[in-house]
Amino acid sequence: MTEEEFDIFYASAFPRLVGRVYAVTGDLAEAQDVVQEAFVRAWDRRREMLTDEAPEAWVRTVAIRLAVSRWRRARRWLELVRHHAAPEHVPGPGPEHTALVQALRRLPQAQRTAIVLHHLCDLSVEQVASETGAAVGTVKARLSRGRAALAVHLDPGRNSGEKEGDRVR
């Protein structure tokens, strides 16, 4: 089958095949997807297909097999999900975690980034400098100021005369 013959075949058979596969699947989008995939596979074999050997039947068979295969995969996935349900109760973050996140949000972006990369991602000061494009000394200053600000935000009793909402820079 030439490219031109295949184009004619595609234009005439696609709507008909979608209708037939839709009757099998009950899902128009799924029918369109599997028929399109079947035509892609037919395109790769177009030179072997002869117009008088019912290429539409071949494409229909491939499309229906694809639909059944997708349906089986979806069914297996649903069975797996049903048998391995998520635990009924997943505990939320503890109060320490919540307090830390709130305190980090109160820091200036540069200090917060340095603290997170260094202390939570375990990057060295040099790696933080490389990651952020800042000098090593700047990163050290941000870490120092950020830790001081976190100490104030996490333990307001240590507050040295600053108001609760002030940021240490």
Query: Residue 141: left if φ>0, alpha if ψ -120 to 50, beta else—which one?
Result: alpha
Instruction: Give me the pLDDT at residue 85, please.
Output: 67
Instruction: Give me the pLDDT at residue 169, please.
Output: 45
User: pTM for the full model?
Assistant: 0.47
CB count in 10 Å sphere of residue 60: 19
Task: List per-residue pLDDT tens for the chain, 169 residues long.
Answer: 788 888 999 999 999 999 999 988 888 999 999 999 999 999 888 877 766 678 888 999 999 999 999 999 988 888 888 887 666 777 888 888 888 888 888 999 999 999 989 988 888 999 999 989 999 999 999 999 999 999 988 887 665 554 544 544 4
**DSSP characters for 88-112?**
S------HHHHHHHHHHHHS-HHHH
Instruction: Give me the pLDDT at residue 96, please.
Output: 86
Query: Residue 144: left if φ>0, alpha if ψ -120 to 50, beta else—which one?
Result: alpha
Q: Distance of alpha carbon 75 from its chain centroid, rounded? A: 22
